Amino acid sequence: MKKILSFVVVAVLALSLAACGNSGAPAQGEGSAAGEGTSKETLVMATNGAFPPYEYYDGDVMVGIDVEMAQAVADKLGMELQIEDMDFGAIIAAVQSGKADMGVAGMTVTEERLENVNFSDSYATGIQVVIVKEGSDIATIDDLEGKMIGVQESTTGHIYCADTPENGGYGEENVTAYTTGANAVEALKTGKVDCVVIDNEPAKAFVAANEGLKILETEFAVEDYAIAIAKDNTELVEKVNKALAELKADGTLDAIVAKYIPAE
Ligand code: ARG
C-alpha cells in the first residue's frame, strides 16, 4: 500500500513537473539504473526514524525525505524497499554486517565513517545548529563552554561536542547523549541540559513542536548527507549513484524535499 502511495506521489509530481516544462533529462546515460543481475529482491534500508523531516513516524508509517528518496531509488533498481528502524549508532554496523544494504538516515559523510563504509554521492546538506531555551544566556557557540550540551548518541553533533577543546570540542564531561534528538530536546525543556546540538532541519521541527525554544544563528558545522553502503558493495554504490543522479536531474529529489521542507 505504502509503495503504491509513494509511487502515485512521485508520478503526480513527475506529471506536474512535466506540465511546467521542467521534466529534465537523466544526467548520465539512457534509461534507469536497472535491476538486472541483482540477486536480492529486497533493498534493506537501515535508519533511525526519529529525525524529522528525513525519517519520522506519521502514525505507524515511517515517512520523510530519506524514506521517499530510498523508495524512488528502490523503484529504479527494480527492488522492494524494506525499512529497518534502529538506534542511529547501530546503522553503520548493520550496513557492515550485511544486515542492511544501505544506511539512509540523514547521515553525514565523515572521514571516520569512510573507514568503515562507502558513501554514495551526497543528496543534501546538513548544518549542525544549537537549540536553546528562549531567554538563555547562550547567545553564540562561544558561550557553550562549561555548559551541559545535549546530543543524539553517535551523531556528528555528539562526536564534535565530546571532542577535546584542542580539537574544537567541549569535552566529554560537558556532553550528555540521548538515544533520540527528541529525548535531548526533552532534557533541554526540563533543564537537564543547557542546549542541544543537532542538524538544522530536525532542529526546526523540534522547535516548531515545542514552545519556548529557539535556534542560535551561529552554525556549528556544515555537512554532506549521503547513503552508507558496505565497503565491498561497490556495485550497489554505482547503482545508487546512477539512480540519485537521475532523481536529481528529473526534479524528483527536489520535489520530495519541497514536500517536507516548504520554502520559507
Ligand atoms: N547528520 C548527523 C550524523 O550523521 C545526524 C543524523 C541522525 N540521523 C537520524 N536518523 N537520527 O551523525
Nearest alpha-carbon partner for 255 in 44, 84, 12, 4? 12
- Type of residue found at 158: H
Averaged confidence pLDDT in the chain:
88
C-alpha cell at 112: 571516520
CA of 4 to the centre of ligand 1 (A): 28
Beta bridge pairs of residue 199? 128
Q: Which residue has the cell 527528541?
A: 182
What is the pLDDT at residue 15? 40
C-alpha cell at 84: 529497518
Q: Is the pTM of this model over 0.75?
A: yes
pLDDT exceeds cutoff 80 at 18: no
Reported as a single tens digit per residue, the pLDDT across 27-80 is 333 334 444 444 558 999 999 999 999 999 999 999 999 999 999 999 999 999
Q: Tell me, what DSSP letter sits at residue 108?
A: B
Q: Using 50, 70 and 90 to split pLDDT, how confident is the model at 12?
A: very low
Q: Tell me, what DSSP letter sits at residue 135?
A: T
Tell me which residues have their CB closer than 6 angstroms to ligand 1.
47-48, 50-51, 55, 88, 105-108, 126, 152, 155-156, 199
Q: Using 50, 70 and 90 to split pLDDT, how confident is the model at 262?
A: confident
What is the pLDDT at residue 220? 81
Q: Tell me, what DSSP letter sits at residue 191?
A: T
Q: Using 50, 70 and 90 to split pLDDT, how confident is the model at 219?
A: confident
CA of 154 to the centre of ligand 1 (A): 8
pLDDT exceeds cutoff 80 at 259: yes
Distance between CA atoms of 242 and 184, rounded to whole angstroms?
Answer: 37
Which fold would CATH assign to domain 126-223? D-Maltodextrin-Binding Protein; domain 2 (3.40.190)
Q: Which atom of ligand 1 is nearest to the CA of 198?
A: 5
CB-based burial label for 196 (10 Å; 0-12, 13-18, 19+) = buried
CA of 212 to the centre of ligand 1 (A): 24
Was domain 29-123+226-260 assigned CATH 3.40.640.10? Answer: no
Domain edges within the chain: 29-123+226-260, 126-223
CA of 71 to the centre of ligand 1 (A): 19
One fold for 29-123+226-260 and 126-223: yes
Give the other-Cβ count within 10 Å of 134's Cβ: 9
Least reliable range by pLDDT among 34-43, 225-234, 243-252: 34-43
Reported as a single tens digit per residue, the pLDDT across 84-136 is 999 999 999 999 999 999 999 999 999 999 999 999 999 999 999 999 999 99
